[in-house]
Amino acid sequence: MLKAKVILVALGAALAVPQALAGATPEEDRKETVEYFKQMFPDVPFEEFVNGQYALNEDRRKQWESMQDFPPYEFAVAEGQEMFETPFANGKTYASCFENGGIGIRQNYPYFDTEKNEVITLELAINRCREANGEEPLKWKKGAIASISAYMASTSQGKPINIKVPDDPDALAAYQDGKEFYYSRRGQLNFSCASCHVQNPGKWIRADFLSPALGQPANFPVHRSKWGELGTLHRRFAGCNNNVRAEPLPAQSEEYRNLEYFLTYMSNGLPVVGPATRP
């Protein structure tokens, strides 16, 4: 079974970019994406797309609103703040690694580092900050890193996502790579990310309600009822890959970072709302 999965990952690279998202530049792609979803959901205001399924389904929205008095991630955010403010062994803190001391900057991540020639996600920057200060890196998908990331996101609440693709062939290549990943079918079930989140948002896949691609990264890290805790965007990517019976890639692999780069660029202008909750 596992072997069959691996072979199918290798085979499953058939690329199908719908006309709706075949722009020549990232900005054209983004505009076409916004327009595509606007036509699909004419009654949903642009800023509401960050709420995913809650923007599209009234029952789900009511369940969600009833959770907002005591959000299940509150403790993790407080814990994240404490970790963020506690000095490393060398006396420095996370603040020393980030612009504006790490406060109110979530909306600028991920960015393309033109010197290192790679996409830097917030979680990657958190762990590189630790390593630069002589600390062990944290595990990528949940726990402390999700709490710190959640605290940092909470200081950016409402700030518009502002991802840039600089005029640099490597940056553009990273963006294109993420876009191709999003539209490539993979796994034994032969689904691309777009199969569900571009072609079929608003529909049910068994008892799960499919959210639109637009706005998806704005609410991370996310507390899923299914997980019973916070998880990072790359944890979710791996879960989706598992669902379609594809071999998930490692969190913070170049592929997932490029995917996050493309996906977050599509949500430019939408407000940061992480951390948030999902079923």
Point out which residues bind another protein (CB under 8 A). 4, 8, 16, 18, 188-191, 195-196, 199-200, 203-207
CB within 8 Å of 34: residues ≥ 6 apart: 46, 214
Name the residue with tokens 């002589």: 134
**Residues recognised as catalytic:** 240
Q: How far is the CB of 141 from another protein (least distance, A)?
A: 24
Rounded to whole angstroms, the Cα distance separating 126 from 145 reads 8
Beta strands 229-231 and 222-224, pairing class: antiparallel
Backbone angles phi, psi at 120, to 5 degrees: -110, 115
Rounded to 5°, angle at Cα 87 from 84 and 91: 150
Beta strands 118-120 and 222-224, pairing class: unpaired
| Dihedral of the alpha carbons of 234, 239, 245, 251, in degrees to the nearest 10 | 20
Secondary structure letter of residue 47 according to DSSP: G
